[in-house]
Amino acid sequence: MRLLLIIVIGLIWVVNEYRGDGVVLSGNDQVADKTLTYNDEQSSGRLEKAFREKTSDLMVEDSGSVIKLLPDDNKGSRHQRILLKLASGQTILIAHNIDLAPRINSLKKGDRLKFKGEYEWNEKGGVVHWTHHDPAKRHPGGWLEHNGRRYE
């Protein structure tokens, strides 16, 4: 059993190191965040590449313009849903968990929204979730930023 546990931990470490975008748990189970910060052009390029290559589980940081505020998803964990257009022209859905982070009530169409979270590919441009802290401290925290205020 101990050997199996060592093998599993080793495989997780290898996969995260190979991908270069995973997380590594330190000795005290605190999350080491490997998100790279880019300017808008570089980050949108990274998201554009992730969309083109159908990549998921990628921590990203970028910003976009709100093109539509969708109704909240109230099934299971509640999420504020926001459709953004990135500098590259790509659209992306932000799914912001409002059970773990504050809802952005002042947000409106045309506003600029900065975000950090985990990208998941879909044919419509992708979804960014984990835009909040992780109470268990096992996943890199994300956030949304609107008008100078951070929501995490």
Instruction: From first to last of the 152 residues of the chain, give the pLDDT tens digit.
Output: 555 444 545 444 333 333 333 333 333 333 334 444 444 444 557 888 888 999 999 999 999 999 999 999 999 999 999 999 999 899 999 999 999 999 999 999 999 999 999 999 999 999 999 999 888 888 888 999 999 999 99
As a residue count, the chain comes to: 152
CA–chain centroid gap for 51, Å, is 14
| Domains identified in the chain and CATH numbers | 34-151 (2.40.50.140)
Q: If you write DSSP's letter for every residue of 95-113 in order, what string do you get?
A: EEETTTS---TT--TT-EE
